[in-house]
Amino acid sequence: MARKNAFYAQSGGVTAVINASAAGVIEAARENKKHIGKVYAGRNGIIGALLEELIDTSKESKATVAALKHTPGGAFGSCRFKLKDLDSSRREYERLIEVFKAHDIGYFFYNGGGDSADTCLKVSQLSEKMGYPIQAIHVPKTVDNDLPITDVSPGFGSVAKYTAICAKEAGLDVASMCATSTKVFVMEVMGRHAGWIAAAAGLAQEQAGDPPHIILFPEIAFNREKFLKKVQQTVKKNGYCVVVVSEGARDKDGVFLADAGSVDAFGHKQLGGVAPVLAQMVKDELGYKYHWAVADYLQRSARHIASAVDVAQAYAVGRAAVEMAVAGKNAVMPAIIRGKGKKYSWTIEEAPLSKVANVEKKMPRSFISSDGFSITQAGRDYLAPLIEGEDYPPYKNGIPQYARPKLEAVPKKLKGKFVL
Amino acid sequence: MARKNAFYAQSGGVTAVINASAAGVIEAARENKKHIGKVYAGRNGIIGALLEELIDTSKESKATVAALKHTPGGAFGSCRFKLKDLDSSRREYERLIEVFKAHDIGYFFYNGGGDSADTCLKVSQLSEKMGYPIQAIHVPKTVDNDLPITDVSPGFGSVAKYTAICAKEAGLDVASMCATSTKVFVMEVMGRHAGWIAAAAGLAQEQAGDPPHIILFPEIAFNREKFLKKVQQTVKKNGYCVVVVSEGARDKDGVFLADAGSVDAFGHKQLGGVAPVLAQMVKDELGYKYHWAVADYLQRSARHIASAVDVAQAYAVGRAAVEMAVAGKNAVMPAIIRGKGKKYSWTIEEAPLSKVANVEKKMPRSFISSDGFSITQAGRDYLAPLIEGEDYPPYKNGIPQYARPKLEAVPKKLKGKFVL
């Protein structure tokens, strides 16, 4: 194949390590100049392609690209924008082809989760179905850890580490105050559909009695009585109770606890926040003084305490995507495969996108204890290696020094404006 | 003075570095065996003295005491319990003397904030007023940074660093998503009376346009119209807006924004959470998609990213307290004094407790910009050195390894039970 330019885009919610994947793609592409010309990044993801807003990553210095490895957020901008199938979104796909053609793009690297894998699969079919020759490779990313085949989704390991550390640290705080003050601490973490992130907090528990004492998963229907009883038992036994709750915790009818909660002064339903709902429930029913935290974006942007394993894997899938492209592959995703044996090891293998798109990996029920409030040894065995190692960013004046890419625009070549 | 045992207690809200002060006290006491016998720590603070629940720190290994330097929370337990003046709380002071006498305690080290300084001052007067010879030294601690004389209160530097890092990291996250998703991110930090912690988030702003774009201080009356206008302007200019808000933000009538907010499904006032109130206000009035976070205990327990300067100062005031005691001092507090000159330096000097107790250090108005939404260069000059350096704890299996003291109880010598 003749030398072609590459398009790279970040998609969906960003992570602490998605830029490490970007660095992997860009660095590997620079080492494969025979096949790949320039890497153009979409400004704000796939929207950048549709609007012909491309960023010329060749203008970024070697140091800046290297610094992406320790920079959270999505350096080129991401978006929540889903392309439908080739027929329903024909106008968009035709526009993509128009832009790709104008900029001589023959490689499409899409860095995202499940929805993006689906889009990437559609793009991979453009050659066959719409006659434009392109190779599309999906670069896995999502804190939700719900991509199939790959043992873990890059981004998850770091949020898992953050959650475990926070549970441990806040637990020590509450333990010291519980004699006369806060007895129950509720920490809300991400996970609308699955409890992977909440489960990771369980790693903070290194000895019996350690926090977190209760984990609430979306997978286990919330039972008010059982929960309150467990809180009370825990406070009676340990003096305090640390609860980690998935934002997606719900009751047996599937109603999110966060929605069951409060209305504002105007009678509007208050959006979000399962932690305050649970804290208030504990106060009302058991009378315990509480505190609560909602980590929200802090958890997925906490590059300052990223998992070294996660950073290495995010970078590696970026590089592997380019290597697969250069090897002529299409419609594939580099997947992380866990080695057998006690000592954790991993390799990267090729997964067909057709088996990735629209398949959601669930957390096995065997990872959750029978009472539904903690993780099992099997869960622990899976999660523990993913948070291994600390990959600290460089600091100056006490502040992490994150990359500041130039984000130089590629001059537009097309006339006419595309309306999203 | 003959050799006497020492009593050490942690008081009020704990911090990421209060145990470093404990380590300073214990290590320095061990080096001064000629004057100081054993260091008994109050289990759960001063309550431990009243209940004769003392922990024998001499049973802790050298390694455990050293590990306290990197362990958050209050290792011996803290409490919120205020002793009044000698007349009003005569029963309590008599009990203290009884317990001190029973355990041959001649030194009282009290590790806390403003209220505790007041208690410590009262205890220092026990010799003169109630005939029990004791030297009382206050060891400064509070994330609120409101102790006078000392340039900074140990504990503040680490929460300041945490806040600045979170604002930077979450800012990068929002910046990448704002084209199609979240445009406004609100992060709530501690500070019921003063905006020191919120101000520190301003250190994240290294270049113009960097987040945080708006800081809301308790010192500046909240003006709804001005705030919304600033949010709108910021989103129009930068595409997104990061707001850092003190939990104590209030309107011109002194009403906390957190209280002005929501009621739960049963009509109860929802406790706490100014971040969701502001986020909802932005959504209702400007229509922007939002996210919000409430860091709560995560911020003051974040030992994993403690400021090295803060850790060093917390340890140093613990040591200095013992040195002052050995030198025969009473009713004093080791204060951190900032050196003159551009390069940051600090020394420890002796401050009379009479000038510390019941005096609240306010944040100078000159640290807040004239529009009330950010910090000035003067504020920056004060804050920046306090977050310098990273003092990482050791890790094992991806989890910080915090001290697990034995907390061995000193056998009780008194009959009869004291009721709090």
CB A357 within 8 A of CB A350: no
Report the helix count and the strand count for chain A, using DSSP H and E: 14, 13
Residue in chain B lying closest to A9 (CA): B176
Residue A251: CA atoms inside 13 Å, Cβ hemisphere, count? 12
Q: Which of B172, B284, B300 sits opposite A72 (nearest CB)?
A: B172
Q: Which of B312, B311, B367, B407 is nearest to B56 (CA)?
A: B407
**Which position has the token pair 């002005």?**
B260
Distance from CA of B197 to the nearest CA of A (A): 15
CB contact under 8 A, A280 and B270: yes
Is the peptide bond preceding residue A334 cis, with omega within 30 degrees of 0? no
Helix or strand (DSSP H, E) at B318: helix B308-326
Residue in chain A lying closest to B207 (CA): A404
CB contact under 8 A, B293 and A295: yes
Q: Which of A139, A141, A133, A11 is nearest to A76 (CA)?
A: A11
The conformation of residue A265, written as its DSSP 8-state character, comes to T
Residue in chain B lying closest to A272 (CA): B276
Burial A18-50 (b: 16+ CB within 10 A, else e): bbbbbbbbbbbbbeeeebbbbbbbbbbbbbbbb
Token output for A140: 């896995």
> Domain B4-144+306-358+390-400 has what CATH class?
alpha beta
Distance from CA of B47 to the nearest CA of A (A): 9
Q: Which of A47, A72, A270 sits opposite B169 (nearest CB)?
A: A72
Label each residue of B366-387 as H, E or C. Answer: HHECCCCCCECHHHHHHHHHHH
CB contact under 8 A, B270 and A283: no
User: Band of the pLDDT at A127, cuts 50, 70, 90?
Assistant: confident
The conformation of residue A368, written as its DSSP 8-state character, comes to B
Report the amino acid identity of residue A68.
L
End-to-end Cα, chain A, rounded Å = 32
Query: For residue A269, is pLDDT > 70?
Result: no
Q: Which of B159, B109, B106, B108 is nearest to B139 (CA)?
A: B109
End-to-end Cα, chain B, rounded Å = 32
Measure the CA–CA gap between A19 and A36, rounded to whole angstroms: 20
Beta strand pairing status for A399-400 and A395-396? antiparallel
What is the ipTM metric for this complex? 0.97
Measure the CA–CA gap between B331 and B350, rounded to whole angstroms: 10
Give catalytic residue positions of B: 144
CB atoms near residue A356 (< 10 Å): 26
CB contact under 8 A, A81 and B180: yes
Identify all chain B residues contacting A272, using CB atoms and an 8 Å cutoff.
Answer: 276, 292
The conformation of residue B71, written as its DSSP 8-state character, comes to -
Beta strand pairing status for A54-56 and A36-42? antiparallel
CB contact under 8 A, B399 and A265: no
The pLDDT score that the predictor gives to residue A1 is 58
Measure the CA–CA gap between B133 and B126, rounded to whole angstroms: 7
- Segment A344-365 shows an average pLDDT of 96
Distance from CA of B373 to the nearest CA of A (A): 21
The pLDDT score that the predictor gives to residue A4 is 98
Residues 6+ apart with CB under 8 A from A179: A239, B44, B45, B47, B77, B79
Helix or strand (DSSP H, E) at B159: helix B156-177
CB contact under 8 A, A399 and B165: yes
Measure the CA–CA gap between B249 and B161, rounded to whole angstroms: 21
SS3 A317: helix
Query: For residue A271, is pLDDT > 50?
Result: no
Q: Which of A79, A82, A103, A77 is nearest to A93 (CA)?
A: A82
Give catalytic residue positions of A: 144
**Lowest-confidence segment of A323-327, A358-362, A399-403, B350-354 by average pLDDT:** A358-362
Measure the CA–CA gap between B75 and B68, rounded to whole angstroms: 8
Residue in chain A lying closest to B175 (CA): A77
Identify all chain A residues contacting B168, using CB atoms and an 8 Å cutoff.
Answer: 399-400, 402
Distance from CA of A206 to the nearest CA of B (A): 9
- CATH fold of A4-142+306-359+389-400, please? Rossmann fold (3.40.50)
Token output for A355: 């088996």
- Segment A277-286 shows an average pLDDT of 95
CB contact under 8 A, B176 and A390: no
CB contact under 8 A, B298 and A187: yes
Work out how many CB contacts closer than 8 A connect A with B.
259
Residues 6+ apart with CB under 8 A from A123: A93, A96, A108, A110, A134, A136
CB A12 within 8 A of CB A116: yes
Residue in chain B lying closest to A259 (CA): B265
Measure the CA–CA gap between A34 and B16, rounded to whole angstroms: 53
Long-range contacts of B55-64 (CB under 8 A, 24+ apart): B55/B405, B55/B407, B55/B408, B55/B409, B55/B410, B56/B408, B56/B409, B56/B410, B57/B8, B57/B26, B57/B405, B59/B406, B59/B408, B60/B26, B60/B405, B60/B406, B64/B403, B64/B404, B64/B405, B64/B406
Residues 6+ apart with CB under 8 A from A76: A8, A9, A10, A22, A41, A42, A43, A44, A45, A48, A55, A405, A407, B176
Helix residue ranges per DSSP H, A5-146: 18-30, 46-50, 62-67, 90-102, 114-124, 126-130
The pLDDT score that the predictor gives to residue B261 is 54
Identify all chain A residues contacting B300, using CB atoms and an 8 Å cutoff.
Answer: 173
Q: Which of A73, A271, A387 sits opposite B398 (nearest CB)?
A: A387
CB contact under 8 A, B392 and A390: yes
The pLDDT score that the predictor gives to residue B272 is 61
- pLDDT tens digits for range A250-266: 999 999 998 865 554 44
CB contact under 8 A, B73 and A175: yes
- Segment A137-156 shows an average pLDDT of 98
Most B CBs within 10 A among A11, A177, A291, hence the mutation to make, goes to: A177
Q: Is the pTM value of this prediction over 0.95?
A: yes
Residue in chain A lying closest to B387 (CA): A398
Distance from CA of B394 to the nearest CA of A (A): 10
The pLDDT score that the predictor gives to residue B266 is 47
Q: Which of B151, B140, B149 is nearest to B196 (CA)?
A: B151
| Residue ranges covered by each domain of chain B | 4-144+306-358+390-400, 156-300
Distance from CA of B242 to the nearest CA of A (A): 12
Query: For residue A268, is pLDDT > 70?
Result: no
CB contact under 8 A, B262 and A270: yes
Cα dihedral B219→B223→B229→B230 (10° resolution)? 0
CB atoms near residue A94 (< 10 Å): 14
The pLDDT score that the predictor gives to residue A416 is 82
- pLDDT tens digits for range B154-185: 999 999 999 999 999 999 999 999 999 999 99
The pLDDT score that the predictor gives to residue B82 is 87
SS3 A244: strand
Residue B310: CA atoms inside 13 Å, Cβ hemisphere, count? 38
Token output for A408: 């130089």
Residue in chain A lying closest to B260 (CA): A265
Distance from CA of A328 to the nearest CA of B (A): 31
Report the helix count and the strand count for chain B, using DSSP H and E: 14, 13
Identify all chain B residues contacting A76, using CB atoms and an 8 Å cutoff.
Answer: 176
Q: Which of B361, B353, B362 is nearest to B118 (CA)?
A: B353
The pLDDT score that the predictor gives to residue B271 is 47
Query: For residue A123, is pLDDT > 90?
Result: yes
CB contact under 8 A, A173 and B47: no
> What is the homologous superfamily of the domain B156-300 according to CATH?
Phosphofructokinase domain (3.40.50.460)
Measure the CA–CA gap between A87 and A68, rounded to whole angstroms: 37
CB A251 within 8 A of CB A221: yes
Q: Which of B405, B179, B170, B398 is nearest to B299 (CA)?
A: B170
Q: Which residues of chain B have pLDDT under 70?
A: 1, 260-272
Measure the CA–CA gap between A62 and B167, rounded to whole angstroms: 27
Q: Which of B79, B293, B294 sits opposite A179 (nearest CB)?
A: B79
Q: Which of A44, A72, A264 sits opposite B280 (nearest CB)?
A: A264
Identical fold, B4-144+306-358+390-400 and B156-300: yes
Measure the CA–CA gap between B23 and B318, rounded to whole angstroms: 7
Report the amino acid identity of residue B36.
I
CB A11 within 8 A of CB A119: yes
Measure the CA–CA gap between B188 and B245, rounded to whole angstroms: 5
- pLDDT tens digits for range A171-214: 999 999 999 999 999 999 999 999 999 999 999 999 999 999 99
- In terms of Cβ atoms closer than 10 Å to its own Cβ (0-12, 13-18, 19+), residue A137 is buried
Cα dihedral B402→B404→B410→B416 (10° resolution)? 90
The pLDDT score that the predictor gives to residue B348 is 98
